[in-house]
Structure 1
Amino acid sequence: MFGLPAEVGLRIAAEALNLSLGTAYRRVRNGDFPCRVRRRGRRYVVRLPDLMRALGIQDVRVRYDDVEAGARFASGESDV
């Protein structure tokens, strides 16, 4: 809905976790990367919800009605 990817590459995950790419690869090999890492062909990927959880970001569900109400509010329309 918001254009966020379902998963990100190891480089992006490492940057988000403030790790160098070399440290990220080493931690993946050692099995102690802060979140679950999967192989997609030759690449390592991390599911976005797993990365958010590792960053301490709560997984908040957004309902379509809330988005619509927010759009109406932002445009100056009232719900009354």
Structure 2
Amino acid sequence: MKRDRDESVAFSVVFGLPAEVGLRTAAKALNLSPTTAYRQVRSGDFPCRVRRTGRRYVVRLSDLMRELGIQEVRVRYDDIEAGARFAGGDIDT
């Protein structure tokens, strides 16, 4: 399948970030103690949507980023390839 050069991917995908993170990781990013985070989840006050998978709580990375004020930007394939060429020493991009 031929890829359209104007296609873009999410920044988090380019850098291989996970789609979800554990509650402890989310709490740390939000500057909360794990105890406070679990208490907020139980009371429904945690700042992000939380999903329970088995015995774990997980938070979607996109929800966490939004809560932290980090915009999920789209990156064009052409820009990724140009950056890779530049990093490889090919400065005539």
What TM-score do the two structures reach when normalised by structure 2?
Answer: 0.79
| CA shift for structure 1 position 74 | 2.0
**Gaps in structure 2 of 5+ consecutive residues:** 1-13
Aligned structure 1 segments of 4 or more residues deviating by more than 6 angstroms: none
Indicate yes or no: 2:68 matched with 1:41.
Answer: no
Is residue 26 of structure 2 the alignment partner of residue 23 of structure 1?
A: no
Aligned position for 2:23: 10
5+ residue gaps, structure 1 = none
For residues 42 and 64 of structure 1, the distance between their equivalents in structure 2, rounded to whole angstroms, comes to 38
Distance 1:63 1:49 in 2: 19
Deviation at 1:30, TM superposition (A): 1.1
User: Separation in 2 of the partners of 1:34 and 1:62?
Assistant: 27
Alignment match of 1:69 (pick from 77, 82, 87):
82
- 1:62 aligns to what SS in structure 2? strand
- Render the CA deviation track for 1:13-43: whole Å, top value 9, x for unaligned: 0000000000000111111111111111111
Percent of aligned pairs with the same amino acid: 80
Give TM-score scaled by structure 1 length.
0.91
Provide the rounded CA distance (Å) in 2 between the counterparts of 1:62 and 1:54: 21
**Residue 51 of structure 1 aligns with which residue?**
64
Q: Aligned partners of 1:39, 1:53: CA distance in 2, in Å?
A: 20
